[in-house]
Amino acid sequence: MFLGIDIGTSGIKAVVLDERGAVAGQGIAALTVQRPHAAWSEQDPEAWWRATTAAVQAIDPTVRRAVRGVGLAGQMHGATLLDADDRPLRPAILWNDGRSAAECAALEAALPDLAAITGNIAMPGFTAPKLLWVKAHEPDVFARVATVLLPKDYVRLRMTGDKASDVSDSAGTLWLDVAHRRWSEAVLAACDLTTAQMPRLFEGTEVTGRLRAEVAELWGMGTVPVTGGGGDNAAGAAGVGVVADGDALLSLGTSGVIFVATDAYRPNPARAVHAFCHCVPDLWHQMSVHLSAGSCIDWVARLTGASGAAELFGRAEAAGPAAGPELFLPYLSGERTPHNDVAVRGAFLHLDNETDANRLAQAVLEGVAFALADGLDALTQAGTRVERLGVIGGGARSSYWGRIIAAALATPLVYFEGGEVGPALGAARLAQIAVDGGDPATVCAAPPISHSIDPDPSFVERLGDKQQLFRAAYPRIAPTPKGQ
């Protein structure tokens, strides 16, 4: 059996796959995010380790003893700063932290070739500008930085004692020469850093080390190999068979991501489309990223007193598509694709005396779907053709939301058995390849399809006018209108 561990933002998920690729056990442990100031988003690295152990130990001990390899997936971009003794110097700065906008501009000015090297424009979500912020605002901390690790790779360090990362996750630092799958000394130098402060790089299907004896004892398994793994989206793609040119998925987690595998490096930074390495060799991928997706669902559920996402989806369905004029712009933490606007914030528009909790819920589902459609447009303009999208993540549980998204994107959606397991599933498959060998196209074959959703013409018609209003609304709420 093979264990996949996903170091998420809201929690840790551990999943064990048996020899047939079926889920034999899983455990979950929750995490919280700290927001000490506006636009800040942080977590304690020690909380990742405690939650990882709790999630693994939640799996049946008999299943754990049969594990032959471990793969890691995780939230991307987080800056985990360690001193010379490998101790965290401060809370990790997360992917949805927006404090480093000024540093992004400074980095692009200092290194005009940045987008050509990294395939991406500088955004506050990336790791590099976070380090420049620390250098400017916490110079004593910056001076003591011996190593910078991504969240899953800090957990790897605790597991194995090795400082290692995979190229898919590392591509999200903005320090990687993405075309050549190696650290860029030029970009690191622009941040006053060196390759000596970076982990060793591996493909996602390579072994990076083995479980330390004390961790193996704690987890009730052998000192098994640990695999490179992948960033959460790349690992999620491996879990549902998105490992060939043109394969695509939609991940509905805290954020919303449209991910397309490519057989070559195809950057398009002008539209805030990400171009990263995939977690399997000789593949890359493009992504449109929306910072708020499932987080909007949780937010409006709290706002309206719903018990959780399931009740919120039920309220929206009771209202129906385009039930009222309400329009929601889902920019609670700013936005990446296509706006690259860290300062914009969410908004409800066109509320009236008939607005109620059901219609607010429906407007939020529509708003996230419209933002995803903007991202798909950016990918299309980059020359990427998407025939269908496989859906993974917690949002995959709602078929009603799927009907809204399919209509907004004018694209069929495919749902997989166990698709909500997400990146942990892919991480386990990467461990299987590392330990047993095999072709990723075979080992990472798509799971059985549970159902599909085609665009409903009635939904397309009812949502069309609101979608046009949505696209016109962003320039009116943006802090600095584009072009000024």
> Would you say residue 253 lies in a domain?
yes
pLDDT at 382: 77
Q: What is each CA distance from 97 to 299, 333, 358, in whole angstroms?
A: 17, 8, 31
> Would you say residue 176 lies in a domain?
yes
pTM: 0.87
Quick one: 226 and 289 in the same domain? no
> Would you say residue 427 lies in a domain?
no
> Would you say residue 444 lies in a domain?
no
Q: Is 205 helix (H, G, I), strand (E, B) or coil?
A: coil
Quick one: 231 and 261 in the same domain? no
> Would you say residue 155 lies in a domain?
yes
Tell me the pLDDT of the chain (484 aa) as tens digits.
999 999 999 999 999 999 888 899 999 999 999 999 988 999 999 999 999 999 999 999 999 999 999 999 999 999 999 999 999 999 999 999 999 999 999 999 999 999 999 999 999 999 999 999 999 999 999 999 999 999 999 999 999 999 999 999 999 999 999 999 999 999 999 999 999 999 999 999 999 999 999 999 999 999 999 999 999 989 999 998 999 999 999 989 888 999 999 999 988 887 788 899 999 999 999 999 898 999 999 999 999 999 999 999 999 999 999 999 999 999 998 898 898 888 899 999 999 999 999 999 999 999 999 999 999 999 988 778 899 999 988 888 899 999 999 999 999 999 988 666 779 999 999 999 999 998 998 999 888 899 999 999 999 999 999 999 999 999 999 886 444 3
| CATH number reported for the structural domain that contains residue 104 in this entry | 3.30.420.40
> Would you say residue 354 lies in a domain?
yes
Tracing tokens 């390495």 back to the chain, one arrives at 277
End residue of a domain, out of 194, 211, 240: 240
What is the DSSP secondary structure assignment for residue 386, as one 8-state letter? Answer: -
Q: From CA 386, how far away is CA 279, in angstroms rounded?
A: 20
CB atoms within 10 A of CB 113: 12
Quick one: 235 and 306 in the same domain? no
Quick one: 386 and 253 in the same domain? yes
Quick one: 200 and 288 in the same domain? no
End residue of a domain, out of 214, 240, 266: 240
End residue of a domain, out of 219, 240, 261: 240
Q: From CA 301, how far away is CA 310, in angstroms rounded?
A: 9
pLDDT at 480: 62
CB 141 within 8 A of CB 132: no
Domain count, the chain: 2
> Would you say residue 448 lies in a domain?
no
Quick one: 65 and 190 in the same domain? yes
Residue 232 known to be catalytic? yes
Quick one: 365 and 251 in the same domain? yes
Closest CA to 280 of 474, 123, 139, 431: 431
> Would you say residue 432 lies in a domain?
no
Residue 164: domain span: 2-240
pLDDT at 150: 98
Peptide bond into 475 cis (omega under 30): no
Catalytic residue among 97, 166, 169, 232: 232
Quick one: 236 and 252 in the same domain? no
Supply φ then ψ for residue 409, to 5 degrees.
Answer: -90, -10
- Report helix angle 309-319 to 294-304, nearest 10: 80
Quick one: 157 and 254 in the same domain? no
Quick one: 334 and 411 in the same domain? yes
> Tokens for 293?
């997706």
Quick one: 195 and 262 in the same domain? no
Burial of 466: CB neighbours in 10 Å, binned 0-12, 13-18, 19+: buried
Q: What is each CA distance from 289 to 123, 256, 334, 344, 445, in whole angstroms?
A: 12, 6, 11, 15, 24
Quick one: 170 and 86 in the same domain? yes
